[in-house]
Each structure stands twice: as structure tokens, then as C-alpha cells.
């Protein structure tokens, strides 16, 4: 009797596993960012076929745009990028400049821009685009707190991304993080250029990136530099690394491992 039940349970477990793995078929693909500590925290890199959120304060919009552009550049791998943006964010932080994009070492030829009038059409367009497997990534740029983007909307985007293998990057300017189904969530600030004399040339874009949420690993905070020539993130060479603050809402990963071992 118990043997029969056990085998039935095993069959069911197998079925559930199959359903889940079918859903997350693309999820094993990860793209290394180039910053070793961040890649370690992300278990090898940024997951494809998932949604990643990048938040920033209003005036840090350009820094966050650069970071998202970097992520998109890593993930896209010569496939087209669809950039969906809300009209209002262009007024606030300026239009995405293709010359600037080329200066970052990325390819402006593969960028198709959707100028959505409002949040609803931006979200709908993004859900549609995320289901199209010809794209490398879809960036959704939204300004301010958004009522319409709730868990259901977020889940819709995640499912679309999982189905097609397209990566969704949400650029949320002037917004506070809310619960969502995103794989990772970042808080972005601009970081100083490496110290030097006041009049010296300053270097590549530097970000102060804080990983607030990571579904499959620890969080952290790093100074990341985008190297335009290699098209990847790296540790700034002449910059003192700040000590990552221990995330308050999660137990320390080191402690957790000790406990498991012990």
C-alpha cells in the first residue's frame, strides 16, 4: 500500500519537475557580466529568459540607463534590442542618444525604439515583444511610481520571457521597488570616477550597483565599471572597493552555509 503510494508520489513529483523544467527551459542560460564578484553572486551571470529590474532615483536616470544598456549589450549577443519607453521619461531624462550608445561600444543598428504614449501601451507592447523570440532583449523604460505594474502584470512579462527566451530589462526611474516576479532587482547610482587630479581625463562610466534582490543567490553592492572597448563590466582598477553591506532581509549567506555544513 505504502509502496504504491510512494511510487504514485514519485510519478507526480516527476511530472511536476517536468512541467517546471519545461517552463524554465531557457533559465539555465546565464551571461557573465564580467565583474567577478557580481557574477559569483549571480551564479555565473545574468539569467536570460527572465525579467530584471533596475531602479534609480530621478536624477540618476542616465547612470541607470547606462547600466541597463550594458546589461542589454551583454545579453543581446548581436540580436535586435527593442527599447520601449514612455513619452514622459524622455522629457525628464532626455532621449536615448544613438551616438552615446555607439560611444559605449554598443551597436545602434540593432536598436528598435517604441515610443509608447502611456504606461498601459508600454506594458502591452513589452508583453507582446517579449514573446517574440527574434529579439535579444526588451528594455522597458518607465518613469515614476506605476499603479498598473502589479504582480499580475509582472507575472505576465515573466511568463512571456520564459516562453521565448528573451530577456526583459525594466528601467524604473524615480520609483520605489514593489513586489514583483523579477529574477534580480538592482538599485543604481552613479559612482565617482577613479580618484585623480581635478583636470585629468576621466574614464569610462562607473556605476554603484546594489543588488537588492536575487532569487537564486545572495545580494551585494559593487562598484562596476563599463569598459567600452571590451563591451563588458569590470572591477575599476584604481578604485577602493566598498565593503558590501549585509542585506537586512536575508540571513548572511556565509552563516547559512556554515549552518548547513554544521
Residues that bind other proteins (CB under 8 A): 59-63, 65-67, 69, 79-80, 82, 90, 93-105, 107-117, 121, 124-125, 128-129, 132-135, 189-193, 198-208, 226, 228-229
Rounded Cα distance, 34 and 37, in Å: 9
- Tell me the closest approach of the beta carbon of residue 140 to other proteins, in angstroms: 13
Q: How far is the CB of 216 from other proteins (least distance, A)?
A: 27
Nearer to other proteins, 50 or 81 (CB): 81
The minimum distance between CB 55 and other proteins, in angstroms, equals: 16
Distance of closest approach, residue 174 Cβ to other proteins, in angstroms: 13
Question: Residue 37 Cβ, how far from other proteins at the closest point, in Å?
Answer: 20
Q: Distance from first CA to last CA of the chain, Å, rounded?
A: 37
Q: What burial class does residue 253 get, using C-beta atoms within 10 Å of its C-beta: 0-12 exposed, 13-18 middle, 19+ buried?
A: middle
Residue with smaller CB distance to other proteins, 194 or 253:
194
For other proteins, the closer of residues 55 and 67 by Cβ is 67
Residue 249's Cβ-count burial label (10 Å; 0-12, 13-18, 19+) is exposed
How many degrees, rounded to 5, is the angle at CA 28 between CA 23 and CA 32?
140
Q: How far is CA 60 from CA 64, 117, 153, in A?
A: 6, 23, 25
Q: How far is the CB of 14 from other proteins (least distance, A)?
A: 34
With respect to other proteins, which residue has the nearer C-beta, 200 or 258? 200
Residue with Cβ nearer other proteins (93 or 162)? 93
Judge contact between 49 and 27, C-beta under 8 A. Answer: yes
Would you say 159 and 26 are in contact if contact means Cβ atoms under 8 Å apart? Answer: no
How far is the C-alpha of 256 from the C-alpha of 251, rounded, in Å? 7
- Closest to other proteins by CB, 194 or 217: 194
Amino acid at each position: 500500500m505504502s509502496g504504491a503510494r510512494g511510487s504514485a508520489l514519485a510519478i507526480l513529483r516527476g511530472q511536476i519537475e517536468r512541467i517546471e523544467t519545461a517552463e524554465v527551459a531557457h533559465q539555465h542560460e546565464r551571461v557573465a557580466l564580467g565583474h567577478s564578484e557580481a557574477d559569483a553572486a549571480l551564479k555565473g551571470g545574468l539569467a536570460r529568459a527572465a525579467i530584471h529590474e533596475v531602479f534609480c532615483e530621478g536624477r540618476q536616470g542616465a547612470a541607470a540607463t547606462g547600466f541597463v544598456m550594458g546589461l542589454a549589450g551583454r545579453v543581446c549577443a548581436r540580436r535586435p534590442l527593442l527599447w520601449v519607453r514612455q513619452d514622459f521619461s524622455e522629457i525628464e531624462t532626455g532621449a536615448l542618444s544613438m551616438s552615446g550608445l555607439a560611444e559605449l561600444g554598443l551597436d545602434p543598428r540593432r536598436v528598435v525604439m517604441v515610443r509608447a504614449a502611456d504606461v498601459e501601451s508600454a506594458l502591452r507592447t513589452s508583453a507582446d515583444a517579449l514573446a517574440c523570440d527574434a529579439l535579444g532583449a526588451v528594455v522597458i523604460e518607465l518613469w515614476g511610481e506605476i499603479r498598473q505594474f502589479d504582480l499580475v502584470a509582472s507575472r505576465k512579462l515573466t511568463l512571456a520571457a520564459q516562453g521565448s527566451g528573451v530577456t526583459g530589462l525594466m528601467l524604473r526611474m524615480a520609483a520605489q521597488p514593489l513586489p514583483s516576479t523579477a529574477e534580480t532587482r538592482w538599485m543604481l547610482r552613479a559612482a565617482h570616477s577613479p580618484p585623480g587630479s581635478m583636470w585629468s581625463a576621466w574614464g569610462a562610466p562607473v556605476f554603484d550597483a546594489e543588488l537588492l534582490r536575487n532569487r537564486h543567490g545572495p545580494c551585494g553592492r559593487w562598484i562596476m565599471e563599463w569598459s567600452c572597448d571590451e563591451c563588458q563590466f569590470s572591477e575599476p582598477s584604481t578604485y577602493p572597493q566598498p565593503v558590501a553591506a549585509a542585506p537586512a532581509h536575508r540571513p548572511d549567506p556565509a552563516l547559512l552555509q556554515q549552518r548547513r555544513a554544521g
